[in-house]
Chains A and B, each alone.
Chain A
Amino acid sequence: MDKYIHTPLKEEEIAELKAGDFVFITGTIYTARDAAHKRMYEALRKKEELPIELKNNIIYYMGPSPAKEGQVIGSAGPTTSSRMDKYTPELIDLGLKGMIGKGRRSDQVREAIIKRKAVYFAAIGGAGALLSKCIISSQVIAYEDLGTEAIRKLEVKNFPVIVVIDSEGNNLY
């Protein structure tokens, strides 16, 4: 079933998303992949504030290719989510509601998703050129020195994803 949602996510909206649904996301989402997750994890250990507001928001596991002149962003498809599994339950506990990536998640992530009523989406791996067309603005907002792995704030319009793990823990894979 095709559904349209806006960020920040609302609890009632999340509850309606079921594994297997096609969802089009509009609004602000944040990118973070391996190195940014490691830094956020270290910041939390030092009781420092995180550079992004997690509450009711979505993190997209993605590191784009560089934008050419006149482009918003380069190729921008998902990376493998399981590498973020170690860090994810803590972020979900802090209010993160959605994740976009590709591939399987650990049992711990699935449990955190159920406990906090979050949702895990997959975008199509290897369709970075196509997906870049749904990104209308991109701005690096933290960890700029990490290059492609910096945290970006993206405005997306009808960004296509599929619900893989819904808030009840149903898993599409």
Chain B
Amino acid sequence: MREVDISEITKEIKEMCIQANYVLSSDMQTKLEDAVQKEESSLGIKILKQLEENLKIAESEQIPICQDTGMTVIFIKIGQEVHIINGDLEEGIQKGVREGYQEGYLRKSVVNDPILRENTKDNTPAVIHYEIIKGDKIEITVAPKGFGSENMSRIFMLKPADGIEGVKEAVLTSVREAGPNACPPMVIGVGIGGTFEKCALLAKKALTRDLNKSFSYPYPYIKELEEELLKKINELGIGPGGLGGTQTAFAVNIETYPTHIAGLPVAVNICCHVNRHITRII
């Protein structure tokens, strides 16, 4: 058994909330630089350069990259050999979010109830996904999610007969509809398989993939599908800011899971160019 004090988790989460909102992870910065090189529309290049400039100002002057500092999504994988001491885990996580959003001057964008809609004034509660894994480490990913793009995300319960063509159509339809609303260039997280909720979770997780690291695909078709979809999305002409161009998406990340004989669930979680995600291991 390894003991981890709850205050350590709180402190990490607080710092990660702040960092994620001020500095984009290097994989996303690289994608933006690549897009400037590849973009064919002069208006598109102009927009992309402003996005680069925006990142510079955000980092040097410590202003959030985007005013929508998101609803905080947290993936926490806890090794089964870990014993958390001196406090309640859930409360410790929420405390980290609360302190991060307050001390980091981040926007408080969460309301207490979807119908009553009173702002909780500290951006809690976060959406937390727990997972128990082997070992004695804790892996935390913080991914603040903006809602301009979240609102354009979709779930499709396809039929097995729809097959891979159905999946492509679902993704392209979602991106076409998202268009300028989702602050393109976008990152598209796709979950295929599992159940209704599992595919949504896969899609969200797909957005947090570190694009600088190589990803081990369970089947080769998945990588090919990602490449084909990215090409097709960039042919839609939506472009940076939705004002036309060839750089509509930076990446399509697909995660899959076994599913039922009768189903083919597909979730398309759309993220904007401010695709924030940080992972730390305790």
A residues near B (Cβ < 8 Å) are: 35, 62-68, 71, 74-77, 79-80, 82, 102-104, 122, 124-130, 132-133, 146-149, 162, 172-173
B125 sits at the interface (CB 8 A)? no
Chain B 159-187 residues near chain A, CB threshold 8 A: 179-181, 183
Instruction: Please determine whether A75 and B63 come into contact, CB atoms closer than 8 angstroms.
Output: yes
Question: Min CB distance, B41 to chain A, in Å?
Answer: 12
Q: Residue on B with the closest CB to A64?
A: B67
Q: Assuming A80-B181, A162-B243, is B50 touching A75 (CB within 8 A)?
A: no
Instruction: Please determine whether B181 and A77 come into contact, CB atoms closer than 8 angstroms.
Output: no
Instruction: Please determine whether A126 and B51 come into contact, CB atoms closer than 8 angstroms.
Output: yes
Question: Min CB distance, A103 to chain B, in Å?
Answer: 4
Q: Assuming A64-B67, A65-B105, is B57 touching A133 (CB within 8 A)?
A: yes
Task: State the main secondary structure of chain A at its contact with B.
Answer: loop
Interface centre among A67, A124, A126 (most CB of B within 10 A): A126
Give the complex CA separation of A147 and B106 in angstroms: 12
> Could you say which of B51, B65, B183 contacts A75, with CB atoms under 8 Å apart?
B65
Instruction: Please determine whether A104 and B54 come into contact, CB atoms closer than 8 angstroms.
Output: no
Considering only CB atoms and an 8 Å cut-off, how many residues of chain B contact the other chain? 38
Instruction: Please determine whether B67 and A77 come into contact, CB atoms closer than 8 angstroms.
Output: yes
Instruction: Please determine whether A125 and B183 come into contact, CB atoms closer than 8 angstroms.
Output: yes
> Could you say which of B57, B63, B69, B243 contacts A172, with CB atoms under 8 Å apart?
B243
B191 sits at the interface (CB 8 A)? no
Since A124-B50, A130-B57 are in contact, a sample of 9 more A-B pairs with Cβ atoms closer than 8 Å, ordered by chain A residue number, is A103-B181, A124-B47, A126-B183, A127-B66, A128-B63, A130-B53, A148-B107, A162-B241, A173-B180
Give the complex CA separation of A167 and B68 in angstroms: 30
Instruction: Please determine whether B66 and A104 come into contact, CB atoms closer than 8 angstroms.
Output: no
Question: Which A residues are in CB contact (< 8 Å) with B65?
Answer: 75, 126, 128-129
B277 sits at the interface (CB 8 A)? no
B7 sits at the interface (CB 8 A)? no
Question: Min CB distance, A92 to chain B, in Å?
Answer: 21
Give the complex CA separation of A75 and B59 in angstroms: 12
Instruction: Please determine whether A126 and B181 come into contact, CB atoms closer than 8 angstroms.
Output: no
Give the complex CA separation of A129 and B61 in angstroms: 9
> Could you say which of B57, B109, B272 contacts A126, with CB atoms under 8 Å apart?
B272
Q: Assuming A65-B105, A130-B53, A133-B57, is B272 touching A125 (CB within 8 A)?
A: yes
B245 sits at the interface (CB 8 A)? no
Question: Which A residues are in CB contact (< 8 Å) with B67?
Answer: 62-65, 74-77, 128, 148
B residues near A (Cβ < 8 Å) are: 47, 50-51, 53-55, 57-58, 61-69, 105-109, 117, 119, 121, 146, 148, 151, 179-181, 183, 241-243, 272-274
Instruction: Please determine whether B66 and A103 come into contact, CB atoms closer than 8 angstroms.
Output: no
Instruction: Please determine whether A75 and B179 come into contact, CB atoms closer than 8 angstroms.
Output: no
Question: Which A residues are in CB contact (< 8 Å) with B68?
Answer: 63, 77, 79, 128
Question: Which A residues are in CB contact (< 8 Å) with B108?
Answer: 147-148
> Could you say which of A64, A103, A126, A132 contacts B107, with CB atoms under 8 Å apart?
A64
Question: Min CB distance, B255 to chain A, in Å?
Answer: 24
Question: Min CB distance, A64 to chain B, in Å?
Answer: 5
Instruction: Please determine whether A122 and B180 come into contact, CB atoms closer than 8 angstroms.
Output: yes
* Chain A to chain B contacts (Cβ below 8 Å), 15 pairs: A62-B67, A64-B67, A64-B107, A65-B105, A75-B63, A75-B66, A103-B148, A122-B180, A125-B66, A126-B51, A129-B54, A129-B64, A130-B50, A146-B119, A173-B180
Instruction: Please determine whether B63 and A74 come into contact, CB atoms closer than 8 angstroms.
Output: yes
Question: Min CB distance, A69 to chain B, in Å?
Answer: 10
Instruction: Please determine whether B243 and A104 come into contact, CB atoms closer than 8 angstroms.
Output: no
Instruction: Please determine whether B50 and A77 come into contact, CB atoms closer than 8 angstroms.
Output: no
Q: Residue on A with the closest CB to B184?
A: A125
Instruction: Please determine whether B50 and A147 come into contact, CB atoms closer than 8 angstroms.
Output: no
Question: Which A residues are in CB contact (< 8 Å) with B109?
Answer: 63, 148
Question: Min CB distance, B125 to chain A, in Å?
Answer: 17
Question: Which A residues are in CB contact (< 8 Å) with B47?
Answer: 124
Instruction: Please determine whether B51 and A124 come into contact, CB atoms closer than 8 angstroms.
Output: yes
Q: Assuming A103-B242, A128-B63, A130-B53, is B181 touching A82 (CB within 8 A)?
A: yes
